[in-house]
Homo-oligomer: A and B are copies of this chain.
């Protein structure tokens, strides 16, 4: 291949980077601790660029790892095979269209979520997929990885907020799936097959996304607890009272302490409402917190104010990164669990997560989107310390066992990537459906007949 000279000629020198330092950066995502150096990082600027790269990979028997901003947390974006090109869509970051009547936007996939939502605010609209990493994470990445985030308790995950995609599949062909309408029944739902496919079926080059109006009114509270079970019971009780929360987030005592909220269990609850209901709904929120021994420490009567109160919650990942690097320097690795259980099982499951953390003695803080049962225990370790590493990985996998025990999922919104392939097999065994993994492999072959895209993710090749 002589340093990808043909590809450089085809695409232009500035799009094909072979500098080892750049390649090293792109070899891994935040959670990967084993990776290969890619041959090159290619910055696509159009779907046609992607087609060129795919054709080149077919011809030269190379792999492609498609990435956006590589904020994924299960090793989804790591390069794990030799002879891989990292295909970055981060330069494809334009908003192509916003419709304030159709409540949809057409975007290039590399646009960052916060940047996108900032533009949408001008129209009074939102894209309610809101991972804690929204400053950096892209719209395309959160679709491809099936993201969720902080508004999911009411609005659901990315799969509810994408209408159509353009993608390049493994034959080098462009396809368009989905519609510009929410209802769209045009044969099998290939659109949702791409949502959460972790770059294994093709490269998304454009997305048509569904938007929602920003809340007309909003109220929220922050409450603190001495006991994790009381916090969990507050969520259970809110659901039983049919309080349809837009946001219900939590952080455990160690997490709250680390981000400066004091050593208490912290719960954020917010509801999007129609104007005129503010005082009544605020009273209901306080009531359900206090009925479960929570102490209301802050309240907000506007989405904007509540958004600010949520800031410390967004540190669930960055705070451990800082602490881990202080402790272990360049050997620091962070692993973020991503289980979800039905809300009714939260009290038991959260108690068991907390007990496991104490038993293992690996530094871990826990938080998450408790409104949809999604818990993110976040642990860190020194990769050069074999014993600590072994225990950390075991604890991480133990969280998956807790999820299965309480009828939950081992992967709520981060995907399988490299880290959860064994867990995924366990999850399907628990459902008496081990053959699903084989069906996945067959599906991949249809879209990716040469086995180019993001190999060894989700399942072993």
Contacts and interface: CB of A to CB of B under 8 A. Distances in A.
Given A239-B101, A411-B186, A458-B187, A181 B277 contact: no
Interface string A393-415: 00000000000000111111111
Contacts of A458: 187-188
A141 interface: no
A385 interface: no
Interface string A192-227: 110111000100000000001110100000000000
A184 to B, nearest CB: 5
A342 B240 CA distance: 37
A190 interface: yes
A179 B340 contact: yes
A342 B104 contact: yes
A360 interface: no
Nearest to A189: B192
B188 A193 contact: yes
B152 A183 contact: yes
A121 interface: no
A277 B414 CA distance: 38
Contacts of A263: none
Contacts of A103: 239, 343
Q: How many copies does the complex hold?
A: 2
B427 A186 contact: yes
Contacts of A213: 242, 244
Contacts of A8: none
A183 B99 contact: no
A159 interface: yes
A443 interface: yes
A185 B281 contact: no
A407 B208 CA distance: 12
Interface residues of A, number: 92
A34 to B, nearest CB: 21
Nearest to A123: B242
Contacts of A156: 160, 182
Contact of A440 (B102, B188, B340, B424): B188
A183 B409 contact: yes
Contacts of A271: 274
A184 B437 CA distance: 16
Contacts of A244: 212-213
A189 B99 CA distance: 29
Contact of A185 (B236, B242, B414, B431): B414
Contacts of A367: none
Contact of A439 (B373, B409, B436, B447): B447
A444 to B, nearest CB: 8
A369 B433 CA distance: 38
B342 A424 contact: no
Contact of A275 (B173, B280, B340): B280
Contact of A443 (B212, B416, B431, B443): B443
A186 B424 contact: yes
Listed from nearest, the 5 A-B pairs whose CB atoms lie closest are: A274-B277, A183-B412, A192-B192, A213-B242, A276-B276
Given A103-B239, A182-B372, A216-B242, 11 more contacts: A99-B342, A100-B240, A102-B239, A125-B242, A152-B183, A175-B431, A179-B408, A183-B413, A186-B416, A274-B276, A276-B277
Interface of A: 99-104, 124-125, 145-146, 148, 152, 156-157, 159-160, 173-177, 179-190, 192-193, 195-197, 201, 212-214, 216, 236, 239-240, 242, 244, 271, 273-277, 280-281, 340-344, 369, 372-374, 407-416, 424, 427-428, 431-433, 435-437, 439-440, 442-443, 446-447, 458-459
26 contacts: A101-B240, A124-B242, A145-B185, A157-B183, A174-B433, A175-B431, A175-B436, A176-B431, A177-B436, A179-B340, A180-B342, A181-B340, A181-B341, A183-B373, A183-B374, A184-B340, A185-B412, A185-B416, A186-B427, A188-B193, A188-B197, A190-B439, A216-B242, A273-B277, A275-B277, A276-B276
